Structure 1
C-alpha cells in the first residue's frame, strides 16, 4: 500500500517553488492586486463592494491551487489551458471596463481613485496572463502539427 500522507511542510515547499515559477508569480500578483482593490473600495466613502475583484481573486486562487498541486495533470478531462485563457480574458476585460468607468463617473475620493488605479493595473496583469496563456496554446498547437507532419512522412 502506498504512503499517501503528506505533511504541511510538503505543501509549503510546493507553494514556495511554485511562486518562483513565472505562472505562479503572475497568479500571486493577481490575487494580491484583487485583495488591494477590495481593501481600497471598502475604505472608500461610498463603501463599494467590487464583485469583479472578488470574482477575480476567487478564480485566481482556484487556478493557483490547481496548478500548484498539479491537479491539471490528474484531471485531464478539463482543458485547463483553455479555461485559464477564458478566465484571464474575461477578467481583464471586466477590470479595465470597471476601472475606466469608475475613473470617469465618480468624484476623486482618495481610496476610490486608488482602487480604480489598482483595478486598471490588475486588468493589465490579467491581459498579460492571457497573452502568455495564448502563447502556450500556440506553441502546443505548433508542436502537435509538427508531430503530425513527421508521422505522416514516416
Structure 2
C-alpha cells in the first residue's frame, strides 16, 4: 500500500507538468495566475469588483483539474468543449465590462492596475474562447 502511494505523487507531478506544456494547460495556468493577481489588487483597493476574479479563479481551476486528470473523457454527460468555450467567452465579456467601469471611475493605483490587467485578461480569455471553439 505504501509503495502505491509513493509512486502516485511523481505520476501526478509528471501529469501536471505534461499538461502545463500544452497550449490549453498554459492558457488555464495563465488565467489562474492573472485572476489571482487581479483579485489581490481589487482586495487591496476598496473596490467591490473582486467577485468576478474569485468565481473565475474557481472555474479556471476546475477546468485545469478536469483537463489535467483527463476527466473530460470520463465524464460524458457534460460536453466540455462547449462548456469551456462559453465560460471563456462570458468571462471575457464580463472582464471587459468590469475593466472599463473600473478605469472610468478612477480610483487608487491598485484599482487602476487591476482594471488594466482586466483588459489583458479580456484578451487572454477571448483568445482562449477562440481556440476552444468546438468545430464539430
Give the superposed CA RMSD.
1.4
Which runs of 5 or more residues in structure 2 are unaligned?
none
Within 5 Å, give how 1:86-125 maps onto structure 2: 86-107=86-107, 109-125=108-124
Do the aligned partners of 2:49 and 2:98 also contact (CA within 8 Å) in 1? no
Do the aligned partners of 2:95 and 2:118 also contact (CA within 8 Å) in 1? yes
Question: Rg bigger for which structure?
Answer: 1
Structure 1 runs (4+) greater than 2 angstroms displaced: none
TM-score, reference length from structure 2: 0.91
C-alpha deviations, 1:78-132, integer Å up to 9, x for none? 100010011011100100100001000233x111111111111111100000000
Distance of 1:9 and 1:15 partners within structure 2: 10
Matched residue count: 132
TM-score, reference length from structure 1: 0.81
Which runs of 5 or more residues in structure 1 are unaligned?
142-154
Deviation at residue 77 of structure 1 after TM alignment: 1.5
